[in-house]
Amino acid sequence: MLHKRRSNTLIIKLWGRNIGFKSLCGKLPNLWKLKEGVQVVDLERNFYFVRFNNRQDYMHALTNGPWIVFGHSLTVEPSTLRATKSNLSWCGCRSLNYYMNTMIGAY
């Protein structure tokens, strides 16, 4: 079920510049010429989840790069978390607990 909810989700990273969450959210619709909206989740260190409401928008953003934002490269890749009983594990990183409760619960 988690994989299904993330099937139209990309992980993106802006290299070489931190433009801030609101600036990036404002830039993406024009950059990708979106037909419908997206939800963006800040993962820290200039990594973001971008969940698309429209499969065509998702495929366009994934396949029609390279993407440049304010002169810096924006990399995109599909979010491919596949949780199964055979590959689940626990990690005792203090900051990871925050992500698991907020980020993954949102998707």
Using a cut of 0.85, tell me whether the model's pTM lies above it: no
Give the whole-number percent of the chain exceeding pLDDT 70: 69
Q: Given a cut of 50, is residue 39 above it in pLDDT?
A: yes
Q: Structural domain boundaries of the chain?
A: 2-106
pLDDT digits (tens, 9 = 90+) for 54-74: 999 999 999 998 999 999 999
Show Cβ contacts of residue 8 under 8 Å, excluding neighbours closer than 6 positions: 51, 52, 53, 54, 55, 58
2-106: CATH superfamily: RRM (RNA recognition motif) domain (3.30.70.330)
Are β-strands 47-52 and 9-14 bridged in parallel, bridged antiparallel, or unpaired?
antiparallel
Q: What pLDDT sits at residue 92?
A: 46
